[in-house]
Chains A and B, each alone.
Chain A
């Protein structure tokens, strides 16, 4: 019961933050509000007992991306520019995509369903085997790094590639600046 009230409050606050982000023209408050949005979703993950995910969301969503967005604002303009004419095409696309996503969730098992595919296969084995095989209290780490070690290697390579990509795109420009700028 009390959990449902917490969910309701958190979702209401998430909704309010999202509306505020859309409504505000000044981009500085928008960036701060997106950090608030991340922190609120981190709280939601904590209530859902997904502390590892909540941790990541708080660190990456509220921490790093806020800093990077602020850095981006410093490079561009701090005010959102209003379009000259209102067009209904974007609204239509957003509505259609939103409805499609909602339609997609209809097939998903309901929250906490014990017969959900995610609960029924593999994970019971992981939970049963992990004390014998790996014997660490945090089963999330055991699954992430050992049972799914190959996937995690892939994730690290993705992070690596993203870093290299940003370096190639942005550092090249600053190098030219160091050369004197005018060529």
Chain B
């Protein structure tokens, strides 16, 4: 484990929670203010990345294991596409969110936006963290023997 400066470690621990909270705000308040799944996903990933930078890759991998990150990458797309498939099964068009609450379409649209943006956020979080793990976990040089 890397031992960075004490102030850096304490401040990181304080800030990580706030970053995650802000990510959730951007995620679920995206209908009302700037933001949405893409931005929230990146911010959520940043919380883990900053933790990894300060406390080391091994520590952050214990908090959020790579296999779980890989599941997140696929889960988001499934949530998004699943919303569309559900609409089809209810007899509406693909991704027509009216299907989620047929007697009150506006409410259905709200549910649709929420679900779809959540799917986007999950995938973006997963991909960003997975890319960070892949980059940070690499050994410095590619040796000839590996090929």
Partners in one complex: yes
Which residues of A are at the interface with B, using a C-beta cutoff of 8 A? 51-52, 54-56, 59-60, 63-64, 67-68, 71-72, 74-75, 133-138, 140-142, 144-146, 149-150, 152-153, 155-157, 159-160, 162-164, 166-167, 169-171, 173-174, 176-177, 181-183
- Please, how many angstroms separate the alpha-carbon atoms of A59 and B35 in the complex? 11
20 interchain pairs, CB-CB under 8 A: A52-B34, A67-B132, A68-B131, A68-B135, A75-B141, A134-B109, A137-B33, A141-B36, A149-B84, A150-B95, A152-B116, A153-B81, A153-B84, A156-B119, A156-B124, A160-B73, A160-B74, A163-B123, A173-B138, A176-B146
- Chain A at the B interface: mostly helix, strand, loop or mixed? helix
- Please, how many angstroms separate the alpha-carbon atoms of A156 and B143 in the complex? 34
Residue of A nearest to B141 (CB): A75
Residue of B nearest to A134 (CB): B109
Whether the Cβ atoms of B32 and A138 lie closer than 8 Å is: yes
Whether the Cβ atoms of A156 and B134 lie closer than 8 Å is: no
- Chain B at the A interface: mostly helix, strand, loop or mixed? helix
- Asked if B62 is at the interface (CB within 8 A of a chain A CB), the reply is no
User: Taking the nearest CB of chain A, how far is it from the CB of B24, in angstroms?
Assistant: 15
User: Taking the nearest CB of chain B, how far is it from the CB of A141, in angstroms?
Assistant: 5
- Asked if B99 is at the interface (CB within 8 A of a chain A CB), the reply is no
Q: Which residues of B contact A183 (CB under 8 A)?
A: 145-146
Q: A59-B39, A138-B31 are in contact. Are A145 and B140 (CB under 8 A)?
A: no
Whether the Cβ atoms of B106 and A135 lie closer than 8 Å is: yes
Cβ 8 A contact of B109, one of A51, A135, A137: A135
Q: Which residues of A contact B146 (CB under 8 A)?
A: 173, 176, 181, 183
